[in-house]
Amino acid sequence: MADASSDVPEHCPGTESEDAGKVSACQGCPNQQICSSGAARAPDPGIALVKARLTPVKHKVLVLSGKGGVGKSTFTSLLARGLAAEDPNRNVAVLDIDICGPSIPRVMGVLGEQVHQSGSGWSPVYVEDNLSVMSVGFLLGSPDDAIIWRGPKKNGMIRQFLSDVDWGDLDYLLVDTPPGTSDEHLSAAQYLQGAGLTGAVVVTTPQEVALLDVRKEIDFCRKVGVRVLGVVENMSSFVCPKCKTQSAIFPANTGGARKMCEDLGVPFLGQCPLDPRLARSCDEGKSMVADHPDSPVAAALKNILQGLVDACENKPVQSNGC
Ligand code: ADP
């Protein structure tokens, strides 16, 4: 697959920088002249390309988390599988731009798949007839390949993913992002806003150390004008499969995500319990909800999905528990 971002020099200052074309890293770059002339600081043509590609996609949703390991990719997969399973006429796709830790191919059961190029762009990998996946993980020889990428190269990759994938008609595009607020988020938000970004789902766990970072994530959304569709609290409790005793592995000492949402005035979509079967399903690339439709995770997801669909359709969101 052609990769435009591989042309970017290792220490490129970025086409929008005042230093563009003028620093030592620019020596020998084919774009040096255009950058030093200032022409590259014109509006990014990628915005129009992404808009052309994604305007037909009805709902574009970023999935964010403050920290890694809270279940963002797990939830992206649960939401995508759930949206697709609820209605066979609803077309759903996942785009994984977690460049340093793309886990979507594994959790969606398409690890090792190849991406093919057609006349109308890159073809995503289909998990179901109405559920497709594109991941930076399909392109990396090893996950370590991208760890040292600098901003402009990441930006180029994200632009290419957003503008070059032939999704067909989509109702929902869920974009799995890296944890935190970094270059990738700014790039994705900027490009998607140009094409009409519906908003963001934020995933957290209940303890204060995770919520601290989620508050920053919500602040980031406000600063860049991304609507928070709602917050999901994952791993809220654990029910022992043998004795059925419920325990809080990550205690919500400050009231958890629900209280934080009340304080910040953003919708709370619901809680999902910790369930070892979910971790196993993700490792095996299977659908936990299809395999265990009566599980507490399946019940929680049903409420959360309803909240997400309502938020996307601009209907009032009920705050759900489980
Ligand atoms: P992130 O994308 O936030 O880094 P992941 O989705 O990769 O996090 O999840 C981290 C680990 O936690 C994975 O092994 C995943 O299977 C597991 N996990 C996530 N949510 C749950 C849950 N509700 N119950 C059990 N395991 C979970």
CATH number where 171 lies: 3.40.50.300
Pairing of strands 116-118, 121-123: antiparallel
- Nearest atom (ligand 1) to Cα of 272: 23
C-alpha distances (whole Å) from 246 to each of 2, 57, 168, 182, 269 are: 51, 41, 44, 36, 21
94 has which bridge partners? Answer: 133, 174
Does residue 215 fall inside a structural domain? yes
d(CA 153, CA 236): 37
Higher pLDDT among residues 144 and 286, named by residue: 286
Q: Is residue 322 part of a domain?
A: no
Same domain assignment for residues 131 and 14: no
Same domain, 63 and 151: yes
Q: Is residue 114 predicted with pLDDT exceeding 80? A: yes
- Residues lining ligand 1, judged by CB closer than 6 Å? 65, 68-74, 103, 234-235, 272, 274-275, 278-279, 282
Q: Are residues 15 and 129 in the same domain?
A: no
Contact 256, 266 (CB under 8 A): no
Report the atom number in ligand 1 closest to the C-alpha of 282.
Answer: 16
Residue 131: CB atoms within 10 A of its CB come to 23
Asked whether residue 2 is assigned to any structural domain, the reply reads: no
Q: Is residue 35 located within the same domain as residue 183?
A: no
If one compares 213 and 4, the residue with the highest pLDDT of the two is 213
- Which atom of ligand 1 approaches the CA of 74 most closely? 6
Are residue 18 and residue 111 in the same domain, yes or no? no
Whether residues 63 and 90 share a domain: the answer is yes
Look at residue 173 and give its three-state secondary structure: strand
- Establish if 250 belongs to a structural domain: yes
Residue 296 phi/psi, 5-degree rounding, is: -60, -30
**What value does the mean pLDDT of the chain take?**
88
Question: Per the domain annotation, does 318 fall within a domain?
Answer: no
Predicted local distance difference test score (pLDDT) of residue 309:
97
Residue 198 is part of which domain span? 45-312
- Arithmetic mean of pLDDT, 258-273: 95
Query: Is residue 301 in a domain?
Result: yes
Same domain, 279 and 222: yes
Helix 183-194 and helix 45-54, axial crossing angle in degrees, nearest 10: 60
What are the tens digits of pLDDT across the range 13-30? 877 778 888 888 888 887
Same-domain status, 15 and 141:
no
Is residue 33 domain-shared with residue 97, that is, in the same domain?
no
The pLDDT of residue 154 is 81
Ligand 1 centroid to 71 CA: how many Å? 4
Residues 6+ apart with CB under 8 A from 131: 80, 81, 84, 92, 93, 94
In a domain, residue 305? The reply is yes
Q: Is residue 4 part of a domain?
A: no
Domain identity same for 186 and 122: yes
Kindly state whether residues 85 and 122 are assigned to the same domain.
yes
Q: How far is the CA of 73 from the centre of ligand 1 (A)?
A: 7
- Residue 320 · residue 268 · CB < 8 Å: yes
In angstroms, the CA 10 to CA 27 distance is 12
- pLDDT for residue 137: 86
Smallest CA separation from ligand 1 atom 22, residue: 274
Ligand 1 centroid to residue 283 C-alpha, Å: 10
Q: How many domains does the chain have?
A: 2
CA 41–ligand 1 middle distance (angstroms): 40
16 and 130 together in one domain: no
